[in-house]
Structure 1
Amino acid sequence: MIGLDRIIENALLEDIHTGDITTLAVVGASGERGAVLKAKEEMLVAGIDVAARVFHLLSTSIRFTPHFSDGARVKPQDVLADLDGDAGLLLQGERVALNLLQRMCGIATLTSRYVEAVKGTKARIVDTRKTTPGLRMLEKYSVRVGGGINHRTGLYDGVLIKENHIAAAGGITEAIRRARAYIPHTMKIEIETESLAQVAEAVEAGADIIMLDNMTTDMMREAVGIISGKALVEASGGVSLETVATIAATGVDIISVGAITHSARAMDISMLLKG
C-alpha cells in the first residue's frame, strides 16, 4: 500500500518516542524469543500484512509467519501468526501492530455483517469519508475485505453535491449545471436530496447518482419510483444493522454506512511471548 510505511512509522514514533522505558529496564538484551498473535473472538481477518510490516520496520531480522490471509474467518484461540526475534523489539512493536490489526479486523467484520444482511437484494454496502484521520487507506481497504465497496476516497476523486453546496449555488439545478461544466466527461455527479421534490428536480437536471438523505423507507420507495432507473439511487443516514435490510428492500442500489468505519469495535487480539 502506498503510504503504509509512513503511517506505521508515525505510530511507532508516537508510541516509542525516545525509548520504551519499561522494556529497556525489565527486558534489556535478553535475546530472541518467540511470540504468537492470537484471536480471542470470532472475526474476519484484515491487516495481517500491516501487522507484519510493523515488526519488519523495527527490524528485518524479525520473522513473522502468518497462518491466515485477509478475508479468512477465524475462531477464538486461533493463532493468526507466529513471530520470532529480539524480545525487546517484539514488545516495542506489540501495541502498534495490535492497534492497527484490531481496528482493521473490526471494520472488516462489521462490514461483512452489513453485507450479509442485504444478501439477496441488489443493494451494495459502501463506506463514507467518516474515517479515522490518517488511517483512511487502511480503513477503506478493510471495508473491501469485508465485502463492501468504497465510495469516493476523498474530496478530490468524486463529485458529491451536498446541502451546503446546493445552498451556495442557489439550487439543485444550478449546482448540477456548474458541476457538469467543470468536471471531465468521465466523472459522474452525485447529489444529496432530502425531499421527493428535490429528487424529481435532480432527475430532471441529469444527476448520475441521487442520494436519499435520512428519508423514511416509504419515501425511499417512492423516490426509487420517481427516479425509475434514470440514475443510481443511494440511501444514506441513520443506517444500522437493524434497519439495513428494510432499506435494501426499497429498491435502492447503494447503501452508505458511516458506522462501518467510525463505529466499528476493535476486535480482541493478543500477543503473547512463548514460554
Structure 2
Amino acid sequence: METKLVLLGTGTPNACPNASGPSTAVIVGDRSYLVDFGPGVVRQAAKAYQKGIDALRPDCLTVAFCTHLHTDHTAGYSDLIFTPWVLERKEPLKVFGPKGICEMTDYIEKAYAVDIDFRINGFEKANEEGYKVEAKEIQPGIIYQDDRVTVEAFPVSHGTLESYGFKFTTPDKVIVISGDTAPLEIVAEKAKDCDILLHEVEYTAGLSAREPKWQKYHQEVHTLSVDLAKIAQKARPKLLVTYHRIYHMEIQDNTVDVEAEIARRNEAILQEIKDAGYDGAVVNGLDLDIF
C-alpha cells in the first residue's frame, strides 16, 4: 500500500495565476486525507483524479484537517462540504481543526440552508448524510487514527492565531506538514528523518527590500528561506518540499511578466536555502505535483 503526497494548491492569500489556494492531500492506497481547503480545493482534487489519483475523486473526499482559520486556508470549506455531496458523497465529512472550526462549520451550514433543503426535498432527492460535517476541535497530540494512518498535531507559531502542523505516519512513509509558521524547533523535532517535510517559505532577499513594519510582521509569522535551511539541516528529511511561497512581489502588476518573475524567485529561494547550509534534497512544490 503506497503513500503519496499530492499538492492540490501551493498558493498564499495573493491571487497568483499559477498557484491555487493552500491544500494538500496525503494518499494512502485508495484513501485521501486533506490538509487545508483553500480556494479551488475540489476542482484541484478533480484534476488530480484525472491524473490517476483515484482517492481524490471528489465524492471520496471524507477526511480533512485544518492548520488554522485564515481565509486562504479555509475559503474552499463550503466547496468541500457541498460539492462532493452533490456528486453523491454518502457519508458526513470529518474535519479536525483549531478552536473555531465548529463555529465556522455551523455558520456555513446555516448559510446554505435553502440549498440543502431544496436538494433534499426538491426534485433531486439528494441523500441526507453527505452534506453533514463531523467537526472536532483539536489539541496537540494524536488526533486521528485508522488502519492506514496516524495523524499527530503539534502547535506552531503564526501570530496569535491557534495554528498546527501535522505529522502523518503510514505503513511506508512519514510526512510532516508545517502549516503557516515562524521557524520553530518543534518542526525539526517532529520531522526528524521523515520521508517528506512540506514547509512554507518566504524569499529572504524579497523581504529585505520591504518596509521595516512588513519585515517585522513576516519574520514573526512566516519562515525565511535561510531559517528553513537550519530547520531542514536539523531534521534531515529525505526530501524537503516548499509550498506557500511568499515572493514579496506585486502579483497584480500586469505590466510585467509575473510568471517569469515568479520562476526567477523560485530558483532564488532554492539557492538561498542551499547557500544557508542545507545540503539535502529540496524542491519547490507546484500545484498538482505528486511525491
TM-score using structure 1 length: 0.32
Pick the structure with more helix per residue.
Answer: 1
Task: Look at both structures and tell me which one has the larger radius of gyration over its CA atoms.
Answer: 1
Pick the structure with more strand per residue.
Answer: 2
Of structures 1 and 2, the one with the larger relative CO (CA 8 A, separation 6+) is 1
